[in-house]
Amino acid sequence: MTDKSKSLPSLTRRATLAGLAAGGATLAMPGILRAQGESIRIGFPTPLTGPFAAEAKDQVKSAELAVKLINDKGGIAGRKVELLVRDDKLNAGEAATRTLELIEKDKVHAIVGALSSAVQLAVNEVTRAGGVIYVSISQSDTINEIKDFSRFTFHEALNPHMTTAAVAKHTFKKDSKVAYLVADYAYGHEMLRGFKRAQQAIGATSVGEILHPFGAADYSTFMPRLRSMRPDILCICNFGRDQANSVKQAVDFGMNRQSKIVVPVLLHNQRLAIGPEAFEGVIGGANYYWGLEDTIPAAKSFNDAFKAANGGAYPTDYGAYGFSGVYSLLLAMEKAGGTDTDKVIAALEELKYDIAKGSQHYRKCDHQSVQSVLVLESKKKAEMKNEADLFKVLATEPASETILRSCAELGFPA
């Protein structure tokens, strides 16, 4: 909300200044008029209010950092970049309305954002209809499939297929008994589907699946039945505060004594919100962890820039999506020399970028970002070197198309 009120006046002020400058330039030096053109506007819908607010705020901070880094270098073809943040309230209808407004009223050149598979599909619909480039930064498998494919959409986030495959590979074993506790909406369903596919390939078996209502605060009533399934692995597929509450309560019920707790995505902010004790030994996937800086130079420079801009705070997993989503788009605009939609799409399809976690590129058929998947384990309190030292990197699945479903399987013509 604050971001909204901040970005609005700064937009008009800057637009006015730019207009004045351009006007002055026309009179004085017509030669540089084009270089001083209108600013490049990126619309950024994200759920600033609601249960994913912590992750959304990190996305905004990191997206702002990407914009700042480009502007510090003089912008793109002399044009300044602006980020227009809007609260989508984690609601598909709200997100569609805000996105339409961004396109029609604010005349944005591209959209980046949304933080829920359902909301992201709504934004995808609007941008596809409007012919506007959209970089999606939240997990979804269906967005890759031909039914929902939009040539304007690029998918910067991991998808459930690659995430669950990587996590299962390092946690499931042949004949492991797996019990699932799954949030009853698109994200949970897609993660469950991914895990079950991986489970079958590995030779593990499912001993039960429980769907829980989205946004539940108490999970105690699911525990007796989960316990009676006697699983080796308790796989909890939910997001945001649901993850924090369900993992905490599973541990309260002693589930971690008989089973390994595994989650698709081990969330930085939720681990912070619940503390090291409840998360100790929990394993899950991630797109990013700041600890990558030991081995990856781009991670080090991203961390340093983020810390400098945010009073020493470390960037988070979902924050990194905000950064790489906006930054990769801006790199492509730079290559394309501006905001011409077809040129930017072509540039994104050609782009190789290494800006936070090592090399990445967008696959041509479905525009999925081919990137590494981390498998993390939450540290014991005693092992933590500082407040932000949350996870051990157990494994890194390298960036490769082999961890994605093939273009043919997604329905794209060969």
Partner 1 sequence: MDAELIAMQLFSGVALGAILIMVALGLSIIFGMLGVVNFAHGALFMIGAYAGLWVASLTGSFWWGLLIAPITIGAFGMLIERFLIRPLYKRSIDDPLLLTFGLGYVLVEAVRIVFGSDGIPFQTPPELAGVADLGIGFFPIYRLFVVAVVAVILVLLWLGLEKTKFGLIVRAGAKDPQIMRVLGVDISKVWLLVFGLGIGLTALGGVLAAPMRNVNPEMGSLVLAEAFVVTVIGGMGSLVGAVVAGLLVGVAISMTALFAPEMATIVMFALMALVLLVRPHGLFGKPVRG
**Residue 8 CA to its chain's centroid (Å):** 25
Could you give the 3-state DSSP secondary structure of residue 148?
coil
Return the range that interacts with partner 1 (CB under 8 A); candidates 80-88, 97-105, 132-140, 269-277. 269-277
Could you tell me if residue 113 is left (phi over 0), alpha (psi between -120 and 50 degrees) or otherwise beta? left
Q: How many residues bind partner 1 (CB under 8 A)?
A: 36
Applying CB under 8 A, which of residues 18, 273, 346, 384 lies at the interface with partner 1? 273
Provide, rounded to whole angstroms, the least separation between the CB of residue 54 and partner 1.
Answer: 4
Q: What residues have CB less than 8 Å from 385, skipping those under 6 apart?
A: none
252 binds partner 1 (CB under 8 A): yes
Q: Which is nearer to partner 1, 152 or 222 (CB)?
A: 222
Provide, rounded to whole angstroms, the least separation between the CB of residue 188 and partner 1.
Answer: 10
Provide, rounded to whole angstroms, the least separation between the CB of residue 228 and partner 1.
Answer: 5
**Dist CA 331 CA 336 (whole Å):** 9
> Within 46-105, which residues bind partner 1 (CB under 8 A)?
51, 53-54, 57
Using a 10 angstrom Cβ sphere, with 0-12 exposed, 13-18 middle and 19 or more buried, the burial of residue 390 is buried
**Binding track, positions 189-228, relative to partner 1; x by CB under 8 A:** ---------------------xxxx-xxxx-xxxxxx-xx
Specify whether the CB–CB gap between 24 and 36 falls below 8 A.
no
Q: Which is nearer to partner 1, 217 or 382 (CB)?
A: 217
Q: Which is nearer to partner 1, 211 or 309 (CB)?
A: 211
Provide, rounded to whole angstroms, the least separation between the CB of residue 90 and partner 1.
Answer: 12
**Dist CA 237 CA 258 (whole Å):** 19
Specify whether the CB–CB gap between 381 and 410 falls below 8 A.
no
379 binds partner 1 (CB under 8 A): no
Q: Which is nearer to partner 1, 102 or 267 (CB)?
A: 267
Applying CB under 8 A, which of residues 158, 192, 244, 351 lies at the interface with partner 1? 244
Q: Which is nearer to partner 1, 278 or 356 (CB)?
A: 278
272 binds partner 1 (CB under 8 A): yes
**Dist CA 255 CA 341 (whole Å):** 51
269 binds partner 1 (CB under 8 A): yes
361 binds partner 1 (CB under 8 A): no
Q: Which is nearer to partner 1, 276 or 338 (CB)?
A: 276
Strand partners, 178: 206, 233
Q: Name the residue among 22, 158, 127 with its Cα closest to residue 78.
A: 22
Could you tell me how many residues make up the chain? 414
Alpha helices in 289-402 (DSSP H): 297-309, 317-336, 341-350
Cα atoms in the 13 Å half-sphere on the side-chain side of 411: 9
Q: What dihedral do alpha carbons 199, 270, 290, 41 form, nearest 10°?
A: 100
- Binding residues for partner 1 (CB under 8 A): 51, 53-54, 57, 184, 210-213, 215-218, 220-225, 227-228, 241, 244-245, 248-249, 252-254, 269-270, 272-275, 277
